[in-house]
A and B are shown apart, each in its own frame.
Chain A
Amino acid sequence: MLSDPTAVSKTALLRIMRNILYRIRGLVIKELLQLRRDKLLLGFLILGPLLELLLMGGMTGGGVRNLPLAVVDLDRSRASRELVARLDQTDELLVRAYGESVAQAEEWMQSGQVGVIVAIPPGYGASLTDPLQSAEVQVIADGSSYVVSNVAIGAAENVAAEIVRDIAARYGLASALHRPVGANAPTGPVELRFIARFNAALDGQPGAITMMLGLIVYQVTLIIAAQSFTRERELGTLEQLRVTPLGRVELMAGKAIPTLVVGLVDALLMIGVIVAWFDIPLRGSLPLLLLLTVPFVLVQIGWGTLISLISRTQQQAMLFVFALAMLEIACSGFLVPAGSLPEAMRVLSRFSSVQHYMAIVRGVMLRGAGLGVLWSPGLALGGIALAVMTLAWLRLWVGLDADSLRQRLRAAGHIRWRERRVVRRTKKPKLSREPAYVDVRVEIDD
C-alpha cells in the first residue's frame, strides 16, 4: 500500500509540535520550581495583592473628607453660629479652630494646620435678613493643593445656597426680591436633578478599588517578566539556558506561562475579595473579565521581556519598570480623566494598556457590559500585546545579551565608520568591556 505523503508530514508536524510543547513544559516546570523555592516571594505574589487591596481599599475612595477649617467669626450672632454649624456638618469640612483675626488663621494655614479659612464679617447676621443688603462671607482655601481649594470652595458655596433657600422659605424673601423670572425659585430658574448611573450614591470606592485591581495586576506581572532574563544573566544561569535546544518562541512562551498564571490567579483572588469584602457587585460575566485579563497580562509580559533583555542588572530592570509604570499611570486616566488629557498624551494613551484594561474592569464589574461593548478595548489590548510581543521577539532574535543590539549595530556600521572610529581610537584609547578570550594551547612533550 502506498503511503500517503500528507499523512507522513502530518505526523511529522505533530511530532514537532509535541517536541515544542515538551520543551516549553520543561522550562515552565523549572520556573515554577524556582518560584516555589522562594517562599517569601510566592507569599507576596499571592497574598500581597490581597493584603494591599484589603488595607488600602477601605482607606481610599471616600473622597475628600473633614478638611480642617478655621473660623474667624467677627459677628458672633445666632446667624453666624448657624453658618459655622452648617459648615461643620458637611462631609468635606470639619471646624478645627476659631481664630481672632484673619491674619492669625492665615498663619495656621501657612504651617499647614488648617486647609480652609471662613471669615464672617461683623454685621453678617443683620445684613442676611435685611432684604436690601447682601451679606458677604470670605472663604480662603489653601491653593497649594488644587483638590483642597476646589472642594472647600464648592462645599462653602453649597452651604451658602442652602442658607439662601432657607431664608427664602422662612421670610418669603424671594418674592420680596421681585424676581421676574423664576420668582418662586430662589435657586434660579433651572433646577438640576442629578442621577448617577451605575453608582447611585456617587461613592468613590468602586472606582478606586477597580483602579487598584488593575494597577496591582499590572505591577506584579510586569516585574516578574522584567526580571526573567536579567535574573538569569546576573546569576550566570543564562549561559546554561543558551545551550539548551530551546528556540526563541519556546523561550518566551516558557517564561510567559508562569507569569500569566500568577497574573490570572491574582486577578481572580482580588475580584473575589472585591465582591465578598467590599460588596462591590460583579454585574457582568467573570469568564469574560478573566478572558480579557489575558491580553492585558500578555502586554506586560511583552514589555517585561523587552526590559529584561535590555537591562544588564535587575536593578536596572526595576528602574525601567518603574519609569514605564509612571508613563502608564500618566496615560491611564487615573490622575487626570482620559478626556481631559492634552492632545499628545491622548494619542499616547491609546497605547496604554492600563487605560484599556480599566475600561474593561469597570465595564464588566460596575456597568455589566458584555463583549458587544468591550470588543474595542479588548481588541486594542490584543493589538498592543501582539505589537509588544513582536518587539520582544525581535529583540530576542538580535541576541540574548544586554549589549547584543549595540554590538550588532556596531558590527553593521563598522565598515562605514571604520575611518572615523580609528581616528577616535587613536585619540583616546578605550578599554573594552568585553572579556578577552585567549586561546591557550599547551603542548606536552613526551
Chain B
Amino acid sequence: MSISRFISVLVKEYRHILREPRTLWMVFLSPAFVLVALSTIFISGSGRIHLTLWDQDRTPLSRQFVAALSSDDDFSISYASGYEEIDALLARRSVDAVLVIPTGFAHTIQKGDSAPVQVILDGVDTFVAGQATGSLLGHAADFGLELNRQFSTPPPPLQIRAQSAYLPEASERESMIPGLIPIVFSLPVMAAALALARERESGSLESLVATPVRGLEYLGGKLIAYVTAALVGLLPVWLTAVLLFGVPFRGSSLLLVALTIDFLLASVGMALFIGNLTRSQQTATVIALFVFFVPGFFLTGMIDPLDTTDLASTAISYALPSTHFVTICRAIFLKGANLVEVWRPALALLALSVAWVGLGALTFKKRIY
C-alpha cells in the first residue's frame, strides 16, 4: 500500500466526477431532491378513507351514528343500498370500507344491548384496512360516550394513558424523514458500482493494469472518492429535513457526520464489490438495483420495524448497511442519542465496511477479460 499511488487514484476519480457537470449535480443534489419528493407525500393526520354507508334502519339514532362518523375529516362518505351495489363498488376499488347499519339498530341500543354493525373492508391494501378499522373503532367508542354523556357514569375499570415519546404529536412525516435518509443516499452509492464496472467495460482498466497500482490502492481510492463526494450531499439533505420539513434535530451534528461516513464506507464498499463482479455497467446497474432499490424499502425497517425474533430475515436485513443507518438517523435526529446509545448499529456498520471492502479487495484482480 503506497500513499502516493492511492492519492493518484483518488485524484483520477475526483476528476471523473468533476468532469461531467451532470454527474456532479446528480451525485451532490439528487439525495436532497429525492428526499423532497418522498417527504412531501407524508402529511400530518390520517388521510380520508372512502366509506360507503347503507343505513337499513333509518331512525334518528342511526342518523346520529352517521353524524358521529362524519364529525371530522377522517372519512369521505357516500351512500349505497343493496349488496349488489356494494359489491360493484368494492370490485371497482372506489371504496375502502362499507358500513351496513342493520334494521333494528336503534331498537337494540335502546334495549341496552350492543347493536351489531357490519363493516366490509377491502382487504387488499392492509394498511388502508388497518387505518379504517382503527378510525371506525374510535368513532364508535366516541358515539358510545356521546350517548352516555347525559347520564353520570363512573369511568371504565381500566384506562390506558398512551404517550408517544420523542414526537408527542406522533407526526408521520417527522418520523419518516430520518428513516428515508439511507435510501436517498443509494444514488451516489450506486454510482460507485458503475464507476468500477466502467473501467472494465471501456477498457481503461487495461492501462491501469500496466501501472504499479495495487488492488487495495485502486479500490481504496475509488472508495474514498465516492464516500467524500456523497458526504457533501449530506448538507443539502440535512437542510431539507431540518429547514424545509421542520424535523427536529436533537443530536450532535458531528456524530451524524461521523456515522454517515461509517455508513457510506459500508455501502460504497458493497457497491464496489458489486461493480467488481461485473463486466458491464448494465449488469452492475441491474444487480445494484436488486440490492439497493426494493430491499431498501422492504427490508431495512424503514416502514415496518424488523421482527428480530425471525433470525433468517434479521440476518439478511443486518447485512444491508441501510438497516443500521435507519436506526442511527432516527436516534440522532429525533432521540438526540449520543455515541454510547448508538454503538451497536455504529459498530455493525464498521464491521460491514471492513467485510465488504475486504471481500472486494480479495476478489479484485488486475486482469483483463
| Chain B residues with CB under 8 A of A131 | 154, 157
* A273 in the interface (beta carbon within 8 A): no
* B168 in the interface (beta carbon within 8 A): yes
Interface residues on B, range: 35 or more
Q: A149-B164, A156-B162 are in contact. Are A144 and B334 (CB under 8 A)?
A: yes
| Chain A residues with CB under 8 A of B48 | 339-340
Q: A196-B129, A336-B41 are in contact. Are A181 and B124 (CB under 8 A)?
A: no
Q: In the complex the two chains form, what is the Cα distance from A203 to B290 in whole Å?
A: 25
Contact status B305-A312, CB under 8 Å: no
29 contacts between A and B (CB under 8 A): A48-B290, A59-B313, A112-B337, A134-B156, A142-B164, A146-B167, A157-B160, A160-B158, A163-B158, A181-B144, A184-B114, A188-B114, A190-B115, A193-B119, A194-B121, A195-B120, A195-B121, A198-B90, A227-B285, A313-B20, A318-B194, A326-B34, A327-B34, A334-B297, A335-B176, A344-B40, A362-B125, A367-B91, A367-B124
Contact status B331-A144, CB under 8 Å: yes
| Chain A residues with CB under 8 A of B20 | 312-313, 316
Interface residues on A, range: 35 or more
Q: Which among B123, B176, B287, B312 has the greatest number of chain A C-beta atoms within 10 A? A: B123
Contact status A40-B277, CB under 8 Å: yes
User: A residues within 8 Å of B by Cβ?
Assistant: 38, 40-41, 44-45, 48, 52, 55-56, 58-68, 94, 106, 109-112, 115, 128-129, 131-132, 134-150, 153-154, 156-157, 160, 163-164, 167, 173, 177-200, 202-204, 206-208, 212, 215-216, 219-220, 223-224, 227, 231, 234-235, 311-316, 318-323, 325-327, 329-331, 333-337, 339-342, 344-345, 359, 362-363, 366-367, 369, 373
| Chain B residues with CB under 8 A of A109 | 165
Among residues 54 to 74 in chain B, which have CB atoms less than 8 Å away from a CB atom of chain A?
A: 65
| Chain A residues with CB under 8 A of B158 | 128, 134-137, 160, 163-164, 167
Among residues 110 to 155 in chain B, which have CB atoms less than 8 Å away from a CB atom of chain A?
A: 110, 112-131, 133-134, 136-137, 140-141, 143-144, 147-148, 151, 153-155
Q: Which residue of B lies closest to A57 (CB)?
A: B298
Interchain nearest-CB distance for B107 vs A (Å): 12
| Chain A residues with CB under 8 A of B331 | 110, 112, 144
Q: Is the interface of B mostly helix, strand, loop or mixed?
A: helix
Closest 9 CB pairs of A and B: A340-B47, A199-B123, A185-B114, A188-B144, A196-B123, A143-B164, A143-B167, A144-B334, A319-B26
Say which one of B195-203, B213-221, B253-261 lies at the interface with A. B195-203
Interchain nearest-CB distance for B9 vs A (Å): 18
Q: In the complex the two chains form, what is the Cα distance from A188 to B137 in whole Å?
A: 10
| Chain B residues with CB under 8 A of A160 | 158-160
Q: Which residue of A lies closest to B197 (CB)?
A: A314
Contact status A193-B118, CB under 8 Å: yes
Contact status A141-B162, CB under 8 Å: yes
Contact status A327-B37, CB under 8 Å: yes
Contact status A329-B153, CB under 8 Å: no
Q: Which among A128, A189, A331, A334 has the greatest number of chain B C-beta atoms within 10 A? A: A189
Q: A202-B126, A314-B285, A319-B187 are in contact. Are A329 and B38 (CB under 8 A)?
A: yes
Q: Which among B93, B153, B316 has the greatest number of chain A C-beta atoms within 10 A? A: B93
Out of B41, B195, B303, which one reaches A341, CB within 8 Å? B41
| Chain A residues with CB under 8 A of B178 | 144
Q: A115-B305, A147-B303, A191-B117 are in contact. Are A177 and B41 (CB under 8 A)?
A: no
Give per-residue flags for B329-349: 1 if the beta carbon is below 8 A from chain A beta carbons, else 0: 011011101001110110000
User: B residues within 8 Å of A by Cβ?
Assistant: 20, 22-23, 26-27, 30, 33-34, 37-38, 40-43, 46-50, 65, 90-93, 96, 109-110, 112-131, 133-134, 136-137, 140-141, 143-144, 147-148, 151, 153-168, 170-172, 175-176, 178-179, 183-184, 186-187, 190-191, 194-195, 198, 201-202, 277-283, 285-290, 293-295, 297-299, 303-305, 307-310, 312-313, 316, 327, 330-331, 333-335, 337, 340-342, 344-345
Q: A38-B280, A148-B305 are in contact. Are A143 and B170 (CB under 8 A)?
A: yes
Q: In the complex the two chains form, what is the Cα distance from A153 to B156 in whole Å?
A: 18
Q: A137-B160, A315-B23, A341-B41 are in contact. List 13 more A-B contacts (CB 8 A).
A: A62-B307, A137-B159, A143-B165, A182-B113, A188-B141, A190-B143, A193-B116, A194-B121, A196-B120, A197-B90, A206-B124, A207-B127, A318-B194
Contact status B341-A110, CB under 8 Å: yes
Contact status B23-A48, CB under 8 Å: no
| Chain B residues with CB under 8 A of A188 | 114, 140-141, 143-144
| Chain A residues with CB under 8 A of B172 | 146
Q: Which residue of A lies closest to B47 (CB)?
A: A340
Interchain nearest-CB distance for A415 vs B (Å): 26
Q: In the complex the two chains form, what is the Cα distance from A182 to B109 in whole Å?
A: 6
Contact status B47-A339, CB under 8 Å: yes
Q: In the complex the two chains form, what is the Cα distance from A67 to B80 in whole Å?
A: 40
